[in-house]
């Protein structure tokens, strides 16, 4: 299955400055694993040391939030994943 991943701002620099990357997988987690295999510098930005998704990463599928089931949510051919790194500060 071919899934398109849209990378925003600070994630792009860790993926060869690409804003759109094609990956394969049947779940969000599989797609992100494929993304990290292509661009290993994204690993610490997306996942913590235990393999859980960083709390600062927001994922949507076809512009609908995947919150709560981000890694297990199913995807289908030609879906679009949007990855946004949420930055907080004061």
pLDDT in tens, 13-53: 999 999 999 999 999 999 999 999 999 999 999 999 998 88
66 lies in which domain range?
Answer: 2-85
Residue 81: inside a domain, yes or no? yes
Q: Residue 54: is its pLDDT beyond 80?
A: yes
pLDDT of residue 60: 92
pLDDT of residue 29: 92
Percent of the chain with pLDDT over 70: 94
Q: Which of 74, 72, 34, 38 is nearest to 53 (CA)?
A: 72
Domain count, the chain: 1
Which H or E run includes 4?
Answer: strand 2-7
Residue 42: inside a domain, yes or no? yes
Residue 32: inside a domain, yes or no? yes
Do the Cβ atoms of 82 and 63 come closer than 8 Å?
yes
Read off the pTM: 0.89
Residue 90: inside a domain, yes or no? no
CATH number of the domain encompassing residue 78: 3.10.20.30
């Amino acid at each position: 299955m071919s899934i398109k991943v849209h990378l925003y701002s600070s994630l792009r620099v860790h993926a060869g400055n690409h804003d759109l990357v094609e990956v394969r997988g049947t779940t969000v987690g599989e797609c992100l694993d494929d993304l990290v295999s292509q661009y290993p510098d994204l690993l610490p930005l997306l996942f913590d040391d235990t393999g859980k998704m960083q709390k600062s990463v927001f994922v949507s599928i076809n512009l609908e939030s995947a919150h709560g089931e981000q890694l297990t949510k199913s995807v289908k051919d030609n879906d679009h994943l949007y990855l946004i790194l949420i930055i907080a500060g004061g």
